[in-house]
Amino acid sequence: MADSPKKAIVIGASSGIGRAVAVELGLRGYQVGLTARRENLLREAAEEIPTKTIVRTIDISSPESAASRLEELIKQMGGVDVIVINSGVRNPNKDLALKPELDTIAVNVQGFVAMATVALNHFLEKKHGYLAGISSIAGLRGTSNAPAYNASKAFVSIYLNGLWQKCIGTGVTVTDIRPGFVDTDMIADIPSKFWVASPQKAAGQILDAMFRKKKVAYVTRRYILLSWLIRIIPDTLYYKVYKKMRVQ
């Protein structure tokens, strides 16, 4: 039934937001394919899900191999109706070393594109599907402490917008999910945090936004206001606020 998808894949399901999304999908009755680099953590996540699960290791820093493995998983599951792309890395890099920047781009840009193209081509072929990509509110402005991370999340949002345009009138939904602070290891080094959501709360709002066919959704919803402020405040004021929050 087109409006009641029962099979889903979560890319980056070993921890944090991705794991919570996978569990929430299971609680809503979906069979779930779990992918990430660390198989042991995927197996642990699978134990929390009440429905049928399939575990497959995929390292999206090797995009061509990752794309092939995702295609294989989709075939193994007999097709899917939902794909959530959560995989991503954040490498604080205040000294601007080259390797952390390139590693971030390899996963957050190249890896994301590999997963998104496989997912969207599958959905376009069947003329139905829900694709959600996890970008970030960080993609709205740059930061000096992790330049590639913020830039990569801006790329994800713009790329998803292009995919959304491509899907107009096709029966395929594309949603750009822009989280603020979610209580995961990714933000452990940030000393000044506010409006921090649990992964479980974030997961619920992510799925609700996707199934409501939202083009863009902020998680939690209160970040809509902050996103507006981030866009309009002058660079000098933005820098002063960011400097107080960042890790020195």
pLDDT tens string, the chain, 248 residues long: the values are: 345 559 999 999 999 999 999 999 999 999 999 999 999 999 999 999 999 999 999 999 999 999 999 999 999 999 999 999 998 898 888 899 999 999 999 999 999 999 999 999 999 999 999 999 999 998 999 888 889 999 999 999 999 999 999 999 999 999 999 998 887 666 555 555 556 789 999 999 999 999 999 999 999 888 888 888 888 888 777 777 666 655 43
Residue 218 falls in the annotated catalytic set: no
Catalytic residue among 30, 130, 149, 238: 149
What CATH number should be reported for the domain whose range is 7-245? 3.40.50.720
Per-residue confidence (pLDDT) for residue 236, from 0 to 100: 78
Paired residues of 56 in beta bridges: 35
Q: What is the amino acid identity at position 73?
A: L
Alpha helices, DSSP H only, in the chain? Answer: 16-27, 39-47, 63-76, 98-105, 112-126, 147-166, 199-211, 223-232, 235-245
Per-residue confidence (pLDDT) for residue 70, from 0 to 100: 98
Per-residue confidence (pLDDT) for residue 1, from 0 to 100: 39
Per-residue confidence (pLDDT) for residue 2, from 0 to 100: 47
Per-residue confidence (pLDDT) for residue 14, from 0 to 100: 94
Cα separations in angstroms, 190 against 101, 215, 246: 19, 29, 6
Cα separations in angstroms, 102 against 59, 142, 150, 153: 16, 16, 13, 14
3-state helix, strand, coil in the chain (%, to 5): 50, 15, 35
Per-residue confidence (pLDDT) for residue 243, from 0 to 100: 65
What is the rounded CA–CA span in Å between residue 46 and residue 32?
A: 9
